[in-house]
Amino acid sequence: MEFEIWLLLGIPLFFSLGWIAARVDIRQLLAESRGLPNGYFRGLNYLLNDQHDKAIDAFIDIVKLDPEAVELHFALGNLFRRRGETERAIRVHQNLLSRPDLPLEQQTQAMFELGQDYLKAGLLDRAEETFNQLVAGPYAIQARRSLLEIYQREKEWARAIDAAHALQESGAGGRQKEIAQFYCELAQDELVHTNSAAALAMLDKALATDRHNVRAAILLGDVQVSSGDVESALLSWRRVEQQSVPHVALVAQRLMDGYRTLERPQEGLNLLKGYLAEAPSIDLLEVVFKATLELDSVDAANQLVSAELKRTPTLLGLDKLLDARLMVAAPEVMPELSMVKNLVHGYAQKLARYQCSHCGFKARQFYWQCPGCSRWETYPPRRTEELSVMN
């Protein structure tokens, strides 16, 4: 009972002490804020309102009055870089590094910011040299990320692999997907130079790093075809179904061509029809449609496209259906049907795009690395209209 009374008496006391401490902190904060120039608050206000030009002008005025304001130099340099004025950003950070009285922590920060300036300006050699000086300090992970970006820009894939491994070892998360893609880039280079053995070695490493890498399976088939081993190539391309069924559309034409080479085209068509039943795709339908026309009949091709359009109603599918209808249309309706076909085709072509799931960049062709944001494997293997219908 005695303890409870003391506890009840103590609660107001603790509350009072907290109130006094808060008052002291507020007074100290107000006293410190009075010491700041008005331009500082103007600059902050401009920043909050995304008025970067006015913020820069305000901060420049303060720096002229107080050249020792290190944090303002950092803010000013970053604003210059964000605005694309990399030369001015570089000068700001170089001036900071030239100060002999700058503490080590801020020297390191200034060096990192300078590296970012060089990277933004496209001065990759200078950026690489700067970031290499930071891989053993507090900015090690950020520096290694920037080095990885540099090597990708320069297409130095072997160095990119080393940088990605170093990032993994530093605890920055797994990079298996990117490493496998770098091996694929090396394999593709070897394939261009008809060095099949070296290409196969790179693809083995890619699949050992990421066994779900679709690109490696596709390239493996390409290498095998170039060596005359079509049967093995077909097995490699069929492996894509086990990795990702939607990506089968990317190898459909390769599969059909391979089965034709082996004089088993009907087997190839039956295989692709099975894939189409499992994963509807305009690109896959295109290949199956042409093969059906060649191996079966116009009526069979008509029925195929009509059934797919009912299952997945898209303008791209309608465009293909009109292609089929024109092949069997009576002469008297041909002009009108052709006019409708041309109109639909024009709109359909605008929708025949692949779209990056990260940045939204659209492209006519499929990319493994987005040209917009440089991310890997962000393009779904389906056209934008198909994705909107499926969602």
Residues at the annotated binding site for Fe cation? Answer: 356, 359, 370, 373
Both structure tokens of 12 = 């107001």
Helix (H, G, I), strand (E, B) or coil at 172: coil
CB-based contact 328:302 (threshold 8 Å) = yes
CB-based contact 186:158 (threshold 8 Å) = yes
Annotate 44-104 with DSSP letters as a single string: HHHHHTT-HHHHHHHHHHHHHH-TT-HHHHHHHHHHHHHTT-HHHHHHHHHHHHT-TTS-H
Both structure tokens of 30 = 């107000």
The amino acid occupying position 232 is: S
Binding site as annotated, residues:
356, 359, 370, 373
> Measured between alpha carbons, how far is residue 338 from residues 243, 307, 317, 325 in Å?
40, 22, 16, 10
Helix (H) or strand (E) holding 354: strand 354-355
State phi, psi for 367 to the nearest 5 degrees: -120, 140
Q: How far apart are CA 37 and CA 54, in angstroms?
A: 16
